[in-house]
């Protein structure tokens, strides 16, 4: 199971202390992300669906050749 939490910057150390003291086997991994570096954040499948529907209505598509040239 994946759980995402937003922790106040000034509480990260205390939170990490709690995580590191959990019984082994409960937490598989911990990844700390900087929200300021995020370029695209989606919170749910519904959000993705809404963004896709909006793009489809807008009709602002890039053709296949241009897409790959710009990569």
- Tokens coding 50: 């809404």
Query: Distance (Å, rounded) from C-alpha 45 to C-alpha 22?
Result: 30
Is the residue at 20 inside a domain? Answer: yes
Question: How many domains does the chain contain in total?
Answer: 1
* Owning domain of residue 40: 9-60
Query: Distance (Å, rounded) from C-alpha 5 to C-alpha 37?
Result: 16
For the four alpha carbons of 4, 9, 11 and 14, in that order, the dihedral sign comes to positive
Is the residue at 68 inside a domain? Answer: no
Is the residue at 35 inside a domain? Answer: yes
Direct distance between the N- and C-terminal alpha carbons of the chain, in angstroms, rounded to an integer? 33
Whether the predicted pLDDT of 1 surpasses 80:
no
pLDDT digits (tens, 9 = 90+) for 7-37: 888 998 999 888 888 877 788 888 888 877 7
Query: Distance (Å, rounded) from C-alpha 32 to C-alpha 12?
Result: 10
pLDDT digits (tens, 9 = 90+) for 39-70: 777 778 888 888 888 888 888 677 778 878 86
pLDDT of residue 60: 66
> CB of 39 within 8 A of CB of 31?
no
Is the residue at 3 inside a domain? Answer: no
Is the residue at 66 inside a domain? Answer: no
Is the residue at 14 inside a domain? Answer: yes
């Amino acid at each position: 199971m994946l759980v995402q939490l937003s922790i106040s910057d000034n509480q990260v150390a205390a939170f990490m202390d709690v995580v590191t003291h959990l019984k082994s086997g409960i937490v598989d991994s911990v990844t700390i992300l900087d929200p300021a570096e995020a370029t695209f954040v989606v919170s749910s499948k519904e959000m993705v669906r809404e963004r896709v529907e909006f793009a489809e209505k807008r009709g602002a598509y890039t053709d296949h050749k241009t897409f790959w040239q710009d990569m």
